[in-house]
């Protein structure tokens, strides 16, 4: 497959040795952003081609981002240099019962200010088969929203498969605005990761997701929601994870997958955490990769969940494991419930 994504990549400044941001005098520098993380993970898994579309400032920070992407075999030909700055975010890693904290500093970033007309998506998409975007990008700015719509329309017209990771972030936009916009964008998607904040009204007008357990939904509940999502938006492949938090350093995950009109789930997998950031992006990458390489639904969801779990053991935003490393982990086995 030939994969490409669109989004913002930021500088990540992380405290060292679990220090609080308030007390820290040193930060570890890295780069990350939802779609960029997926492109990096896809490249490391070994797809034929993995690329990233974005806008960066024309300075050494922008050059450093491109160098990072190239070091991970991500094609950067479709990144443009524009006015604006490199967005930043600060990570305070939690420990034991203290949760992690993230502070964003991304106003007026290059991608937020970029004119959508500088991207010729019809030309770009000629070389690719799969396009990925998240619900974060349209939340960044009005320009980024127009850019998202233009890209999804062009990808659909060019015959690419489209995956949408809903990835709602309450720090970026209002829930109702996110619901309206992402429900519109979902019409373009062939695959969807997550279920919120899509609008799924039942017969009485209330959302059918109301009352759904966030951390431990049943297979029957998820099957009902997934069927409704396919009925309303035409999405054929839907997946999500559920998470149990034992502490900031130890969690458990399970995965749900809807494909071919049926829903399956994995058993819970418990693991220790080195770095939680990007776990959902590695799940998305693993899902896209597996759908394009395997036919067995059980193998698909097991592979995707394994990618997410392995990412939690790696510092930084992206999953830098290989296909063989995921397969090695999978030999330990996961139980699938139908």
pLDDT (tens digit per residue) in 173-202: 999 999 999 999 999 999 999 999 999 998
Using DSSP, how many helices (H) and how many strands (E) does the chain show?
11, 15
281 close to 34: Cβ distance less than 8 angstroms: yes
pLDDT tens profile 98-134: 888 889 999 999 999 999 999 999 999 999 999 999 9
Q: Read off the pLDDT band of 78 (50, 70, 90).
A: very high
- pLDDT at position 255 is 97
124 close to 58: Cβ distance less than 8 angstroms: no
pLDDT tens profile 157-168: 999 999 999 999
Q: Concatenate the DSSP letters of all residues of 131-189 into one string.
A: EEEETTHHHH-HHHHHHHHHHHHHHHHTT-EEEEE----TTTS-HHHHHHHHHHHGGG-
Collapsing DSSP states into helix, strand and coil, what is residue 82?
strand
- pLDDT at position 333 is 57
Q: How many CB atoms are located within 10 Å of the residue 89 CB?
A: 18
Mean pLDDT of 24-35: 94
Structural domain of residue 147, as residue ranges?
2-337
Mean pLDDT of 227-255: 96
Collapsing DSSP states into helix, strand and coil, what is residue 327?
helix
Compute CA distances 241 → 223, 244, 297, whole Å: 14, 10, 15
| Number of domains making up the chain | 1
136 close to 8: Cβ distance less than 8 angstroms: yes
Q: Residue 326: is its pLDDT beyond 80?
A: yes
- pLDDT at position 338 is 42
Q: How many CB atoms are located within 10 Å of the residue 239 CB?
A: 30
C-alpha Rg value of the chain to the nearest Å? 19
Nearest to 289 by CA among 132, 122, 151: 132
CATH code, domain with 54: 3.40.1190.20
Euclidean distance between CA atoms 4 and 14, whole angstroms: 27
Helix, strand, coil shares of the chain, percent, nearest 5, are 35, 25, 35
Q: Read off the pLDDT band of 335 (50, 70, 90).
A: low
């Amino acid at each position: 497959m030939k994969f490409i994504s669109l989004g913002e990549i930021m500088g990540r400044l992380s405290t060292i040795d679990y220090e609080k941001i308030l007390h820290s005098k040193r930060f570890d520098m890295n780069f990350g952003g939802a779609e960029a993380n997926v492109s990096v993970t896809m490249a490391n898994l070994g797809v034929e081609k993995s690329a990233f579309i974005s806008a960066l400032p024309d300075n050494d920070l922008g050059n450093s981002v491109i160098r990072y992407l190239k070091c991970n075999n991500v094609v950067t030909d479709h990144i443009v240099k524009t006015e604006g700055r490199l967005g930043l975010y600060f990570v305070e890693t939690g420990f034991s019962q203290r949760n992690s904290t993230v502070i964003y500093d991304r106003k007026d970033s290059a991608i937020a200010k970029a004119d959508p007309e500088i991207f010729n998506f019809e030309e770009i998409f000629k070389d690719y088969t799969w396009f990925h975007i998240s619900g974060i990008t349209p939340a960044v700015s009005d320009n980024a929203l127009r850019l998202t719509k233009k890209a999804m329309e062009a990808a659909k017209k060019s015959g690419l498969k489209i995956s949408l990771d809903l990835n709602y972030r309450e720090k970026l936009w209002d829930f109702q605005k996110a619901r309206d916009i992402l429900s519109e964008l979902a019409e373009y998607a062939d695959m969807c990761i997550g279920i919120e904040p899509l609008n799924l009204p039942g017969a009485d007008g209330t959302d059918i997701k109301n009352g759904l357990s966030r951390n431990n939904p049943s297979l029957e509940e998820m099957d009902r929601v997934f069927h409704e999502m396919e009925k309303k938006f035409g999405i054929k492949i839907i997946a999500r994870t559920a998470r149990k938090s034992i502490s900031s350093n130890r969690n458990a995950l399970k995965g749900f997958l809807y494909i071919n009109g049926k829903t399956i789930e994995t058993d819970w997998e418990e693991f220790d955490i080195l770095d939680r950031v990007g776990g959902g992006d590695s799940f998305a990458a693993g899902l896209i990769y597996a759908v394009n390489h395997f036919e067995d639904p059980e193998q698909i969801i097991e592979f995707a969940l394994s990618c997410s779990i392995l990412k939690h053991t790696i510092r930084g935003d992206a999953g830098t494991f290989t296909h063989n490393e995921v397969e090695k982990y999978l030999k330990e086995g996961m139980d699938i419930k139908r």
